[in-house]
């Protein structure tokens, strides 16, 4: 492959990384807004939705052009394939951040129930997984994604715990139904974001080694 192609491939990877960390910032800020009931911060997350979509469209087109014009093989092709997966996962993570920010507007001013149950802890775990998956993509360091299966299991367990606790509060006090329902929804969003982190990790493994794995 030509030096021009590899320079363009490097620029693609940087663009994908920038988009992924932008999505990460949306999710991070949405969680801060939820925990602190910060409507102003939530509004900034919602305002970023158009930008992340524009990034997605531009980067996808770049991937397709690199494939069509250069017909890459081996590692080069795997980098582009992985980048397409990271683009898709990042867009979804950003969307979950936006959806969480919208919930903040609905529950702002209402006291949290039971210190938000385990949602802050679950959020911390999920954000750490995404951080490690994106760092693995940036640095091509597979050690960052070691133990992802066990970490994903822990997040699943937290979601189930939040669900059960929320149902208990709803049954004991019907006034908590709306807020507890939102807790269940946010826990589901976080679980899905962890799944996207796992997909990124799977594709980074494939990019680096050519080996396909399934994290479950």
Task: Give percent of the chain with pLDDT exceeding 70.
Answer: 100
pLDDT tens track for 178-194? 999 999 999 999 999 99
Give the Cα separation of 89 and 196 in Å (integer).
5
Work out the angle at residue 133's Cα, subtended by the Cα atoms of residues 35 and 144, and round it to the nearest 5 degrees.
115
Q: Is the pLDDT of residue 1 over 70?
A: no
- For residue 183, count CB atoms less than 10 angstroms from its CB and return exposed for 0-12, middle for 13-18, buried for 19 or more: buried
Determine if the pTM surpasses 0.85.
yes
pLDDT tens track for 19-36? 999 999 999 999 999 999
Class of domain 3-209 as given by CATH: mainly alpha
| Phi, psi for residue 118 in degrees, rounded to 5 | -105, 15
């Amino acid at each position: 492959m030509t030096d021009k192609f590899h320079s363009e491939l490097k620029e693609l990877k940087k663009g994908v990384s920038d988009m992924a960390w932008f999505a990460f910032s949306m999710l991070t800020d949405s969680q801060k807004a939820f925990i602190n009931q910060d409507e102003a911060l939530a509004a900034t997350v919602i305002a970023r939705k158009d930008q992340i979509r524009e990034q997605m469209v531009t980067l996808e087109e770049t991937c397709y052009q690199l494939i069509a014009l250069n017909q890459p093989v081996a590692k080069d092709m795997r980098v582009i394939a992985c980048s397409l997966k990271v683009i898709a996962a990042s867009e979804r993570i950003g969307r979950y951040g936006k959806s969480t920010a919208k919930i903040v507007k609905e529950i702002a001013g209402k006291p949290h129930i039971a210190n938000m149950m385990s949602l802050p802890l679950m959020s911390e775990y999920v954000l750490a997984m995404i951080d490690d998956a994106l760092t693995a993509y940036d640095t091509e360091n597979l050690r960052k994604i070691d133990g992802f299966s066990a970490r994903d299991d822990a997040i699943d367990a937290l979601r189930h715990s939040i669900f059960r606790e929320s149902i208990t509060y709803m049954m004991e006090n019907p006034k908590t139904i709306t807020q507890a329902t939102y807790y269940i929804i946010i826990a589901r969003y976080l679980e899905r974001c962890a799944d996207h982190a796992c997909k990124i990790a799977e594709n980074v493994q494939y990019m680096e080694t050519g080996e396909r794995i399934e994290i479950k």
